[in-house]
Amino acid sequence: MNQKRRDFLKLTSLTSVGLMGSSIDVQGSVNRLSKPQFNMSGYAAPALETVRIGFIGLGNRGPGAVMRMNQIEGVEIKALCDIRPERVAAMQEKLGESSGQSPLAYSGTEETWKEMCERDDIDLVYIATPWDWHVPMAVYAMEQGKHAAVEVPAAVTLEECWQLVETSEKTRQHCMMLENCCYDFFELMTLNMARQGFFGDIVHAEGAYLHDLLEMNFSKDSYYKMWRLEENFRNGNLYPTHGLGPVCQIMNINRGDQMDYLVSVSSDDFQMAPMAQALASEDAFYESYANKTYRGNMNTTTIRTKRGRTIMLQHDVTSPRPYSRIHLVSGTKGMARKWPAPERIATSHEWMSEEGYQGIKEKYTPEITQRLGEMARKIGGHGGMDFLMDWRLIDCLRNGLPLDQDVYDAALWSAVAPLSEKSVTNRSNSVDVPDFTSGAWQTNEPVDISFRGGGTTQVKS
């Protein structure tokens, strides 16, 4: 993804947002000037007996999503799109062998995805492309009367976040960010515990994305045209949603509380630039990356909410350390923490015994995990959470239920990245967080990831 194309996409996104009623103030924050067109929080679109899906992007995440959806009753895979024809052909062959489905192919140019979105036999467009394409594709899909499911982060700039919000409100089409970590089993259990008051008043939460991806980011084979590496030219928390999404649901963010402001600080880069220079000395391919400025190894961002609670987020994808999303929830009556393993619960200054923890699991494991957990583990996708996410999306669409994650979540959780960049650039001064709900967070109902009148969608044998 070259810089000229990124600048063009940002410019067109900004133009669209300006036309739709938002503006940039002198500090660079984006605020809505016009009234919301429709509140998408809690919105239930008309039920679909069959959900007809078109997929865009068959690189790292797309193929797995196609095969998971292929396992769910009431799904038809109508079209597959990727700029590389061989990717589409391979996916068509795999689908044909497993289920006999023959989705149409769209490939070869950077604009062919629009033809797919314009079809009248698609209900949902599932987007798993490089980040720069997320908003243009999701917006176009919604404008064509399609629901959009878009990989994380849903947007890269604040302007793009507002464009998603205002397009979803205007079209009344869902825009769900595919934040799979909201469906991991411990995260679902702690959400259920919070709903039932186990933690008391939630005071503080922590999340992270700590994952050693240094070699993968510099690999020629990992990401199309090195797009993921080029994202690291920005300095901030570039990938906040895995740690943030689950704790936002636990804290009822956008539904009873709202982010107020954040501060963000980054360390220096101790590894990316040296690796780029070392690789360039051996391979001319890397010369264009050798003199770039990369984000710091570790970013720590702290958020304060309107109700006076705090969230701490961390991002480090280069240091040699064990994987962690932390997932810490702390309240007036107890706390939970997932990493470092094992998962733990406390109601005092000592961790609960293993026997006590097993009793908590028996009492608070939610119905969705009880009924689908083992099947999800077998079908796979990050231990089963990817399948639970996809199943839940389809079940809500088929039963005419509100989605667990709406466009305001997609915008807010994604917005932390550009807001953190702004804070880092300004010597870690505080930055106000836009209210994408335009005040509706005060009356919006908390999300409830359960069956809620659904749970009828089966899995194919």
pLDDT at 16 over 50: no
* Dist. CA 458–CA 455, nearest whole Å: 8
What does DSSP say about strands 147-150 and 175-177: parallel, antiparallel, or unpaired?
parallel
What is the rounded average pLDDT of the residues 165-170? 98
Helices 85-99 and 62-69 cross at an angle (nearest 10°) of: 20
The H-or-E segment that residue 160 falls in is helix 158-171
- Cα dist. 5→16, 132, 234, 253 in Å? 17, 9, 16, 34
- As a 3-state breakdown, the chain gives helix, strand, coil percent values, each rounded to 5, of 40, 20, 40
pLDDT tens digits for range 291-338 = 999 999 999 999 999 999 999 999 999 999 999 999 999 999 999 999
Rounded distance between C-alpha atoms, residue 301 and residue 416, angstroms:
9
- Write out pLDDT tens, residues 94-122: 999 988 888 999 999 999 999 999 999 99
Cα-Cα end-to-end distance for the chain? 41
Q: What is the structure's pLDDT at 29?
A: 62
Would you state the pLDDT for residue 20? 52
Which pLDDT belongs to residue 23?
Answer: 55
Kind and range of the H or E run holding 228: helix 227-231
The first and second tokens of residue 152, run together, are 């994380």
Task: Give the alpha-carbon dihedral of 337, 338, 339, 341, to 10 degrees.
Answer: 110
Contacts of 191 (CB under 8 A, 6+ apart): 246, 249, 250, 366, 449
Indicate the burial class of 279 (C-beta count within 10 angstroms; 0-12, 13-18, 19 or more).
middle
Q: Are 416 and 237 in contact (CB under 8 A)?
A: yes
Q: What is the pLDDT of residues 202-260, one digit of tens each?
A: 999 999 999 999 999 999 999 999 999 999 999 999 999 999 999 999 999 999 999 99
**Cα separation, 425 vs 201, whole angstroms:** 34
Backbone angles phi and psi of 259, in degrees to 5? -65, 140
Residue 8's pLDDT band, with cuts at 50, 70 and 90, is very low
How confident is the model at residue 17, as a pLDDT?
43
Single pTM value for the model = 0.94
Percentage of residues of the chain with pLDDT beyond 90: 89
What domains lie within the chain, and their CATH numbers?
Answer: 14-25+47-178 (3.40.50.720), 182-367+407-442 (3.30.360.10)
DSSP 38-65: ---TT--PPP-SSEEEEEE--SSSHHHH
How far is 272 from 290, CA to CA, in rounded Å? 9
pLDDT for 370: 96
Phi-psi region of 225 (alpha: psi -120 to 50; beta: other; left: phi over 0): left
